[in-house]
Structure 1
């Protein structure tokens, strides 16, 4: 792996750390990641917002994402930004996607539990989403990588965080996880090793109070004059 400072400044993420000094950290990267995912697994309901910057070989775009999870079978994901403006609802086996720009929606029957429903949708439509790792259960056991490193503890915009990195043949993932008994992921950056132009996706997470979640969040209310699209 490249040195953390060189990689961060190459991708613009050095601004997050400023001139922070890396401090010693005894836990392994895998142990810290598993602890953060276990903290999520312990919650039936949780919510977070995500600010995503995607720097690809084709250009740059940004999106804001709002996620609400109510296990075992309810999920709401709202995406607004340069390319997508959509709301996604999973409600006990019924998945609905509404495109705000086109005023169109599609409904798909799927598995009832979130984990199985996401697997079904990703396999069926051959898509993937790094953010989904925060919606699955048991991600501490699901994640696979070739190597990992704990760079130590840093100050991330006033928040003390473990700074971790994981590597596979295709990607290098840098993750910042808060210290303490109930750790949460604050930021992560995925660098595409196959890119010729230093492509990466940087995500900042803002965790919300679960009390903001209500049953109506997971029910799609059809907007006026919306058109339903059917998938064969």
Structure 2
């Protein structure tokens, strides 16, 4: 849920198998831009048309150590959204347990590990809040791009190639598997086939960094009903209220780890 210190700019496999994939997929990519964009646009329209959302997720973020060892950190959480101006997001991992709550007027960052929380006035929409958190405070909600009303335009920024790879199955649900390329990143998305084109899996790969680290988001549950009191924050009486800048490290990667993966999420 929380941003990382170094991010991708926004926007053993058998050799024989790797060669076969490169031969069969790449020509299709050049011919399928229109179909891939059509499927992505269908997902974007469906998601942005939902007034309320409640989503649970798992996420993996890969880092590269100074010894060029790839390490993966895994978290789980929930995102609840009520357009236009309410948002709640949680992330629980092996190192941090954090939530943000926004009721249209007040933003709360609740650091459960540190037993403290911070609040600032932040009137506006949830989309404006997402930008403020990311740009000014380094706090990124999971899959934030997927929540935006202009999600299609955001995702398609700087895309140079798109392909329909085929079908995939995520948690027993058949999905359309799409792959896109930017200059510095490759990203894939699996969209549920049928009348509810829900994003089920989202992977971003850095091409400009050695070892090609990835960020992966897997959406497990997708509901459109949210409890009326979901965006009300009630502080734990044992927690201390502090200034936002005084919060301890709330990153999803522990301190001392060199981070090498993405913010298009």
Which category describes the TM-score, using the shorter chain as reference length? 0.7 to 0.9
Report whether the alignment pairs 1:230 with 2:237: no
1:142 aligns with 2:154: yes
SS in 1 for 2:109: strand
Whole-Å separation in 1 of the counterparts to 2:219 and 2:104: 26
Of structures 1 and 2, the one with the larger relative CO (CA 8 A, separation 6+) is 2
Cα distance between partner residues in 2 of 1:182 and 1:190: 23
- Secondary structure, counterpart of 1:214 in structure 2: coil
Deviations 1:156-195 (Å, cap 9, x if unpaired)? 4532211111111221101111111320111111111122
Which residue does 1:124 correspond to in 2?
136
For the 8 Å contact 2:61–2:216, the answer to whether it is kept is: yes
Q: 1:1-54: CA deviations, max 9, x gaps? A: xxxx749x9xxxxxxxxxxxxxxx896212111111110111111111111111
Distance 1:52 1:135, change over 3 A: same
Corresponding residue for residue 194 of structure 2:
180
SS at 1:195's partner residue?
coil
**2:98 aligned residue:** 86
For 2:209, which of 195, 215, 218 is the aligned residue?
A: 195
Q: Which runs of no fewer than 5 residues in structure 1 stay unpaired?
A: 10-24
Separation (CA, whole Å) in 1 of partners of 2:89 and 2:172: 28
Assess if the C-alpha contact under 8 Å between 1:111 and 1:120 holds in 2.
Answer: no
Q: How does 1:95-114 map to 2 (within 5 A)?
A: 95-114=107-126
Q: Is 1:57 the equivalent of 2:64?
A: yes
Match of 2:55 among 48, 56, 59: 48
SS of the equivalent of 1:43 reads coil
- Measure, in 2, the Cα distance between the counterparts of 1:157 and 1:117: 31
Q: Is the 8 A contact 2:170 2:201 kept in 1?
A: no
For structure 2, list consecutive stretches of 5 or more residues without a partner in the other structure: 1-16, 22-31, 66-70, 246-265
Q: CA deviation at 1:100?
A: 0.6
Change (3 A) 1:76 1:157: closer
SS at match of 1:216: coil
1:129–1:67 CA distance, 2 compared to 1 (3 A): closer
Q: Aligned equivalents of 2:176 and 2:135: distance in 1?
A: 33
Deviation at 1:122, TM superposition (A): 1.6
Distance 1:173 1:131 in 2: 13
Runs of 4+ in structure 1 over 3 Å off: 126-130, 154-158
Corresponding residue to 1:170 among 180, 184, 207: 184
Q: Give the TM-score of the pair, scaled to structure 2.
A: 0.73
Distance 1:155 1:63, change over 3 A: closer
Q: Does residue 206 in structure 1 map to residue 198 in structure 2?
A: no
Looking at structure 2, the residues matched to 174 and 6 of structure 1 have their Cα atoms a distance apart, in angstroms, of 17
Report the Cα distance in structure 2 between the residues aligned to 1:117 and 1:26, rounded to whole angstroms. Answer: 32
* 1:195/1:161 CA distance change after superposition, 3 Å: same
